[in-house]
Amino acid sequence: MLDSHVALGRSGTLWAPRASRIVNSSLAKFIASVGGAVNDYATFHAWSANDPGGFWGALWHYARIIGSPGKVALYRPTTSAMDGAVFFPEARLNLAENLLRGRASRIAAYEIRSGGKTAEMTMETLRGEVGRIASGMKQAGIRPGMTVAAWMPPGLERLATLIATFAIGATWLDLDQNVPPETLAERLGEMRPTLLFIDERGVGDARRSRLLEALPGIATVVSLGRSGDATWEDFGRGCARPRYRRFPFNHPAAILFVGTTNAQPVVHSAGGMLLTHLKEHLLHCDLKAESLLCVMGEWSPMMRLWHSSALATGASIAFDGRRRGAKNPKAAWRVIDTMPITHLGMEPGFLGRSEAFGCDPKSECGLRALRVMLVSARGFRPEQFQWVYEHVKSDLMLAPLLGSPAVCGHYFLGSPLHPVRRGELTARTLGMALHVVDQRRAPVIGRRGSLVCSEPFPTLPKAPPGGESVWRNGSEDLPGLWAEGIEIELTPYGAAIQEPPAT
């Protein structure tokens, strides 16, 4: 039976937040701080979309970003909606400094390992590891703006390496281990990282050799799990704490690939990523200092960045570091139950395996701390929404995430103010002027069309030096608008339906 606060009626409502949860949410507090009405999300969203400078400037201060914002939140030199817009042109910040905030003694990160064992790292230890790795990078000749590549699965070592890259102002390049090395080389084009971190546990010599052959510019290999030019454990010894040089808001921080067959590289800025992810974590996901965000399974490089960015809220994070062959979802649910996980992220495939294995975490596990479940919207079937409430937990904010590496974030997320409806994407993300338009560029509601954004946003992607224009690629058929070819239906109350109804 579904609990009293869950009513599957004609509207398909599966869950609705209690009043106490709404008023205590960061989103409600942020809306109140700028004079908005908590019970009128549509009006607040319209303000956030149509006054991007006002919204993002207010969020900088609400999120207490470490750094100097400058006097201008958004500079627009032309009347064009997108072209030439620059967010925080005078700002200075260091992304690593914002990720490493908080008490030294708190647990910053956990890693779930094979056999159900967990490892943990305090913030003090993480800062020390970041300082050490950053020192090693500098000794290896890495300077701000240079590219550091990593072929590592999610885990504590990868987290320290990522943040060390941000600390010195280098650009992070996550080499997806599921992509063949030759394909990676094609995607990189003229980009030539000189430093490579590689986790060689479970990687054969042949695959390692293929990777190094595909990356001829690599001068130094730092290995975890075997000997190399340097080992991860010994790299950069002698520095206990990182030093933070503050860079411009639009300083390049990470390279991601957009598309599958002909994937194109895009560059995202440190400030854009930080502000966008804080918006999503604080406001949409309601992460707090006492929260623990765990991601199960293998997520994309963009989602790995998104997961790690949760540290900037003061929350802790947990990685799924089990072997790739660890497919038993029952064992995973048991491990989840032993940890104080408040926010749980997963792919729909994990839910599908859980259903196939007959898992019933609701009766088999307590999951007392769990408040929010985040699921990738692609492939998330309507019937799986109901399975979550019947077999995982009744009082739970289920948040389907529809995003893209092109914007290093999401177009639709959950919301602590909104009900969850079967098969629907809950709410448009704040700070993006999202609409659905038909072939004539006219806005439509209640029928499918193209998802577009008509105002600038901080993670509008840039192309690497010498690369093609990301702006042209994104909006070829809809000039003046940002679009990725996403077809979707917008409901009258601001939710979205991703798939057409079955006939």
Q: Which are the contacts of 14, defined by CB distance < 8 A and separation ≥ 6?
A: 2, 6, 8, 385, 386, 389, 398, 419, 420, 421, 422
Rounded-to-10 torsion of CA 444, 447, 451, 455: 20
Q: Which are the contacts of 314, defined by CB distance < 8 A and separation ≥ 6?
A: 101, 102, 288, 289
Going by pLDDT thresholds of 50, 70 and 90, the confidence category of residue 9 is: very low
Where in the sequence is the domain holding 143, given as residue range(s)? 13-497
Structural domain includes residue 383: yes
Structural domain includes residue 1: no
Total domain count, the chain: 1
Q: Estimate the share of the chain in helix, then strand, then coil, as percent rounded to the nearest 5.
A: 30, 25, 45
For residue range 94-135, list pLDDT tens digits in order: 999 999 999 999 999 999 987 778 999 999 999 999 999 999
Going by pLDDT thresholds of 50, 70 and 90, the confidence category of residue 188 is: confident
Structural domain includes residue 108: yes
Structural domain includes residue 6: no
Q: What's the CATH number where 171 sits?
A: 3.40.50.12780
Structural domain includes residue 33: yes
d(CA 313, CA 95): 13
For residue range 13-71, list pLDDT tens digits in order: 999 999 999 999 999 999 999 999 999 999 999 999 999 999 999 999 999 999 999 99
Structural domain includes residue 503: no
Judging by DSSP bridges, how do beta strands 171-174 and 397-404 pair with one another? unpaired
CA angle, residues 464, 71, 29, in degrees to nearest 5: 95
Position 4 pLDDT exceeds 50: no
Note if the pTM is more than 0.75.
yes
For residue range 249-281, list pLDDT tens digits in order: 999 999 999 876 677 889 999 999 999 999 999
Q: Which two tokens stand for residue 475?
A: 């909006």
For residue range 306-317, list pLDDT tens digits in order: 999 999 999 999
Structural domain includes residue 438: yes
Rounded-to-10 torsion of CA 24, 57, 343, 321: -160
Position 77 pLDDT exceeds 70: yes
Share of the chain above pLDDT 90, in %: 68
Structural domain includes residue 5: no
In this prediction, residue 476 carries a pLDDT of 64
